[in-house]
């Protein structure tokens, strides 16, 4: 009896997840794919006939310049997150176990505030009349406000700030699993702290580094609102490009081109998929090893 009931509940849940997944993830993506093969329409945005022309937009050199810029920004963000996040994760993992959750909480709590709100908060820190400039002015270090807002740096800072937890958490997860006795074994065999770090800790946490990097790099390509809020009118991320094809611009002129936006979006999704597949193909073996171990 119980078993039948359990099974019933389970299939309900599974069906629910399945339906949710289909409606919210598969369907929209299929629509985007479909849109990328349709033709632009002034009033309805989309119309037949089907064609491949939209993908021609991909060969635009301006777009490639933008993509390069966006990748550059995403790489810098990833690197900064790694440089800040790794020591952070390492320190937490080294603390006594009871204290881990407190520090993880401190990292997670900002998550509960919408990242949009947090980036707006950064505006009031960076702006010409913002906190930083006021301090510097009050301290007499500068005479006129320095422009931080609407610079590449501001966007880079916002990205790093927003995405840092995605670097810390996966690295912490691997570091935490490293058997302490491996470190002791290395020390026992004559390794100093630096050797231990280089030969044991880094190699054993490499899968976490890669995972963290992917989890920072990919969103950093598309987080257009950070660029919008902190970067002003500059188009710095690929996400903004796509967004601009879908929204009429501020002047009211109908600039939107859904099929081209969809085509770029599909291409981006596909390249991400390829990257992720490569990662999981190589990453899974590492993880399996660790689990078996």
Partner 1 sequence: METQAHPLLELKSITKFFGSNKVIDDLDLSVYDGEFLTLLGPSGCGKTTLLRLIGGFERPTGGRIYMDGTDITYTAPHRRPVNTVFQQYSLFPHMNVFENVAFGLKMKNLSKDKIEEAVNSSLKKVKMEHFADRMPMELSCGQQQRVSIARAFVNNPKILLLDEPLSALDYKLRCEMQLELKELQRDLGITFVFVTHDQEEALCMSDRVVVLNEGMIEQIGSPIQIYEEPKNLFVANFVGEINVFDGIVASTTEKYFTALVAGMSCKLKKPTTFDVEKGSKIKVLLRPEDMVIEKIKKLDEESSKLQGVISHLVYKGRTIDLWIRMSGGIMVMATQFFNEDDPDIIYSVGDFVDVSWIDDWEVVLPDA
Angle between helices 224-231 and 115-126 (to 10 degrees): 20
Sign of the torsion formed by the C-alpha atoms of 267, 270, 272 and 275? negative
Nearest distance, CB of residue 91 and partner 1, angstroms: 21
* Site membership for partner 1, residue 181 (CB under 8 A): yes
CB atoms within 10 A of CB 157: 20
Residue with the two structure tokens 């916002």? 158
* Site membership for partner 1, residue 74 (CB under 8 A): no
Binding mask 160-179 for partner 1 (x = CB under 8 A): -------------------x
Long-range contacts of range 100-106, CB-CB < 8 Å, 24 or more positions apart?
A: 100/176, 104/169, 104/172
Which residue, 41, 25, 62, is CA-closest to 238?
62
| Residue 46 backbone phi and psi in degrees, to 5 | -130, 145
**Binding test (CB under 8 A) with partner 1, winner from 1, 48, 139, 292:** 292
| Separation between Cα atoms, residue 47 and residue 229, nearest integer Å | 33
Which residue, 92, 65, 253, is CA-closest to 176?
92
**Binding test (CB under 8 A) with partner 1, winner from 28, 110, 203, 248:** 203
Nearest distance, CB of residue 287 and partner 1, angstroms: 12
**Binding test (CB under 8 A) with partner 1, winner from 90, 187, 235, 256:** 187
CB of 86 or CB of 126, closer to partner 1: 86
Residue with the two structure tokens 């660790």? 290
Find the binding residues for partner 1 in span 14-53 (CB under 8 A): none
Binding mask 121-160 for partner 1 (x = CB under 8 A): ----------------------------------------
* Site membership for partner 1, residue 293 (CB under 8 A): yes
| Separation between Cα atoms, residue 186 and residue 189, nearest integer Å | 5
CB of 128 or CB of 287, closer to partner 1: 287
CB of 52 or CB of 292, closer to partner 1: 292
* Site membership for partner 1, residue 200 (CB under 8 A): yes
- b vs e for 159-170, b when ≥16 Cβ sit within 10 Å of the residue's Cβ? bbbbbbbbbbbb
| Separation between Cα atoms, residue 219 and residue 161, nearest integer Å | 13
**Binding test (CB under 8 A) with partner 1, winner from 65, 185, 254, 275:** 185
Bridge partners of residue 41, in order along the sequence: 45
Of the candidate spans 5-13, 166-174, 180-188, 272-280, the one that interacts with partner 1 by CB under 8 A turns out to be 180-188
**Binding test (CB under 8 A) with partner 1, winner from 32, 63, 173, 182:** 182
- Binding residues (CB under 8 A) for partner 1: these are 179, 181-182, 184-192, 195, 199-200, 203-204, 289-290, 292-293
């Amino acid at each position: 009896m119980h078993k039948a009931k359990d099974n019933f509940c389970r299939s309900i849940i599974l069906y629910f997840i399945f339906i949710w997944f289909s409606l919210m993830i598969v369907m929209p993506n299929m629509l985007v794919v479909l849109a990328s093969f349709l033709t632009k329409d002034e009033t309805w945005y989309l119309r037949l006939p089907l064609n491949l022309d939209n993908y021609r937009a991909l060969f635009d050199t301006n777009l490639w310049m933008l993509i390069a810029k966006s990748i550059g920004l995403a790489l810098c963000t990833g690197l900064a997150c790694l440089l800040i996040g790794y020591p952070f994760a390492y320190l937490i993992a080294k603390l006594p176990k009871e204290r881990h959750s407190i520090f993880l909480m401190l990292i997670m709590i900002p998550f509960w505030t919408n990242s949009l709100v947090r980036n707006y908060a950064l505006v009031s820190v960076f702006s010409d009349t913002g906190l930083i400039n006021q301090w510097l002015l009050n301290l007499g270090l500068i005479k006129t406000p320095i422009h931080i807002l609407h610079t590449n740096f501001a966007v880079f800072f916002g990205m790093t700030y927003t995405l840092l937890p995605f670097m810390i958490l996966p690295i912490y997860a691997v570091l935490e699993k490293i058997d302490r006795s491996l470190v002791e074994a290395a020390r026992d065999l004559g390794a100093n702290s630096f050797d231990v770090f280089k030969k044991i800790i880094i190699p054993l946490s490499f899968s976490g580094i890669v995972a963290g990097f992917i989890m920072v790099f990919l969103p950093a390509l598309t987080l257009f609102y950070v660029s919008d809020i902190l970067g002003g009118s500059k188009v710095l991320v690929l996400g903004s490009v796509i967004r601009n094809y879908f929204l009429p611009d501020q002047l009211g002129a109908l600039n939107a081109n859904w099929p081209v936006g969809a085509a770029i979006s599909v291409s981006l999704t596909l390249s991400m998929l390829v990257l992720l597949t490569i990662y999981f193909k190589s990453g899974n073996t590492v993880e399996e090893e660790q689990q078996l171990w």
